[in-house]
Amino acid sequence: MARPVLLTVDDDPAVSRAVARDLRREYGEEYRVLRAGSGPEALEALRELKLRGDPVAVLLADHRMPDMTGVEFLEQAMDIVPRARRALLTAYADTDAAIAAINDVDVDAYLLKPWDPPEDKLYPKIDEMLSAWHATPDPEVVGVKLVGHRWSGPSFGARTLLTRNAVPHRWYSVEDPEGQRVLAAAGAGPDDVPVVVTADGQVLRHPGEAELAAAVGLTVDPQEEFYDLVVVGGGPAGLGAAVYGTSEGLRTVLVEREATGGQAGQSSRIENYLGFPGGVSGADLAERARRQAVKFGTELLLTRDVVALEVHGPKRVLRLDDGRTVAAGAVVLATGVSYRSLGVPGCDDLTGRGVYYGSATTEAAECAGRDVYVVGGANSAGQAAVFFSRHARSVCLLVRGPSLEASMSHYLIEQIAQIPSISVRTCTTLAGVQGDGHLEAITVQDAQTGELETLPASHLFVFIGGAPRTGWLDGAVVRDERGFIPTGPALVRDGRRPPGWPLDRDPYLLETSVPGVFVAGDVRADSVKRVASAVGEGAMAVTLVHRYLEER
């Protein structure tokens, strides 16, 4: 945290220097003393301090200044730093104006010139204002500020990116006074949101994911020309491969299109993961794994999508969405799966504006006192229902099947049954969503009777199974009819290896139809969709990578 600022404003250079000198002599060790020669100059300084998140404790302004009086400056400064204490420096003849300022514009104090000796006439007033300021400090944060609209899809995306990548930041709604002050300091308006202000005061208006990631210090470009191992995907399988790869001496880079954790990282509570008897949130588990991977030396390349896989002799080359390439001796594909789109009328327009894929825990506070709907009947949906029940007035699970038993763990079914604010509607499908700019209602259909019912709703969270992210591999590796990637024995049919296989041996257990390209986690055909098995496959894949690299 930067030292709090004491800002003096006076158009007389001699007076300005004298005030700053006396303030530094008494307060210089704990506070920064800054001075400005005019009201406009001081307002610009306050905007810069606001953008950087530097706290401003006291403003001391001369009353008689050209262009802008001290009272006018202090009144405008209140819009930028409302908690700063404000004092007017006046001559004896201006005492009435100073008293009026105290009464009319809430100035905290006035000081008469000359103020000698400062021990009697200056410091006691400043001490009083500092004590009051410390009692109600400005809740600025050192880090990133994000101003957005609660019903803006891009604002939701920026907030999710920062949250899931563990970037310290503060969210401001464009509708709140403080959010409006940040926008004004940044020279932006409501139409520019999301607006991001970095720790060093850089302003981004409506940034793309890669631009935002780079601005807040995330790595978005590869640092090396060649690696031993490239891991594609930052979920449990990818993080497991990265930890074991770097810990065993492989130069490893992990490429992730959004944030580490994958779908598991969005789980509000995982209670059946080995070693966590009290349960662990997906975000916490992902962050622990990320720190572990980085500790061993894994390079994380974030907000980069892989669009193609190419084979150049012993090199496996991955082409990124910005045209760059990453080359390595071996590849582990751990791209996981994405929640399938609802595919109902109105859904696409309202995604990020009340309709969310995954738990979207950043929306928890907005659900307070509201009725929330969760679509899905598997563990991820159940975990989300339990999580949001702590915030929402009620949570309703919309389940297509006749019961939860076939798709949800027994412990979670029992937990849901014990929470009175959670209800379960089985044999129910979503038929449509409605809203003007944000979600306002949903239409559900009874699968047995066909009856339609429209319900008011502000938040809908979707967990309806996953589709593999493998379209970019078309023509490069063998995929099954659903897009999942078969490996090892599944590629050998009637003793015949996959077409184009160049080696004398069969593919290893987790190896694809391309030697040196391995698969781990949910994207592998016939995999067990569990966090523990994904981590195990990531570790196993690295063992097979070693074997492959040694035989070349």
H or E stretch covering 284? helix 282-296
pTM above 0.85, yes or no: no
- 364-371 long-range Cβ contacts below 8 angstroms, 24+ apart: 364/388, 364/390, 364/391, 365/391, 366/150, 366/458, 366/459, 367/391, 367/392, 367/458, 367/459, 368/392, 369/393, 370/458, 370/459, 371/395, 371/396, 371/455, 371/456, 371/457, 371/458
> 88, 110, 135 — which closes off a domain?
135
CA-to-CA separations, 62 to 16, 262, 283, in angstroms, rounded: 9, 57, 52
Print the domain residue range for 413: 347-464
Give, for all 552 residues of the chain, the pLDDT tens digit: 578 999 999 999 999 999 999 999 999 999 999 999 999 999 999 988 888 888 899 999 988 888 888 888 988 888 788 888 988 888 766 677 667 666 656 678 878 888 889 998 899 989 988 988 887 655 554 579 999 998 888 999 999 899 888 788 889 999 988 899 899 989 999 999 999 999 888 999 999 999 999 999 999 999 999 999 999 999 999 999 999 999 999 999 999 998 888 878 777 778 888 888 877 888 888 888 998 999 999 999 999 999 999 999 999 999 999 999 999 999 999 999 888 888 888 898 999 999 998 877 778 888 989 999 999 999 989 999 999 998 999 999 999 999 999 889 999 999 999 999 999 999 999 999 999 989 999 999 999 999 999 999 999 999 987 789 899 999 999 999 999 999 999 999 888 999 899 999 999 999 999 999 999 999 999 998 889 999 999 999 999 999 999 987
Give the three-class secondary structure for 294: helix
Is 435 contained in some domain?
yes
Q: Is residue 338 part of a domain?
A: no
Judgement on whether residues 15 and 131 belong to the same structural domain of the protein = yes
Helix (H, G, I), strand (E, B) or coil at 9: strand
Q: How many residues would you count in the chain?
A: 552
> Same domain for 483 and 541?
yes
Q: What does the pLDDT look like over 406-456, one tens digit per residue?
A: 889 999 999 999 999 999 999 999 999 999 989 999 999 999 999 999 999
Pairwise CA distance, residues 310 & 327, whole Å:
9
Residue 115 shares a structural domain with residue 164: no
The count of structural domains within the chain is 4
Asked if residue 425 and residue 368 are part of one domain, the reply reads yes
In a shared domain, residues 275 and 321: yes
Residues 485 and 521 in one domain: yes
- 431 in the same domain as 486: no
CATH number at residue 385: 3.50.50.60
The predicted structure's pLDDT at residue 138: 53
Query: Residue 141: its pLDDT value, please?
Result: 47
Asked whether residue 248 is assigned to any structural domain, the reply reads yes
CATH number reported for the structural domain that contains residue 72 in this entry: 3.40.50.2300
Q: Same domain for 365 and 409?
A: yes
Could you say which of 135, 156, 172 is where a domain stops? 135
Beta bridge partners of 220: none
Assess whether 451 and 492 both reside in one domain. no
Same domain as 131, residue 22: yes
Whether residue 546 sits in one domain with residue 492: yes
Number of neighbouring beta carbons within 10 Å of residue 279:
13
118 and 193 within one domain: no
> In a 3-state reduction of DSSP, which class is residue 49?
helix
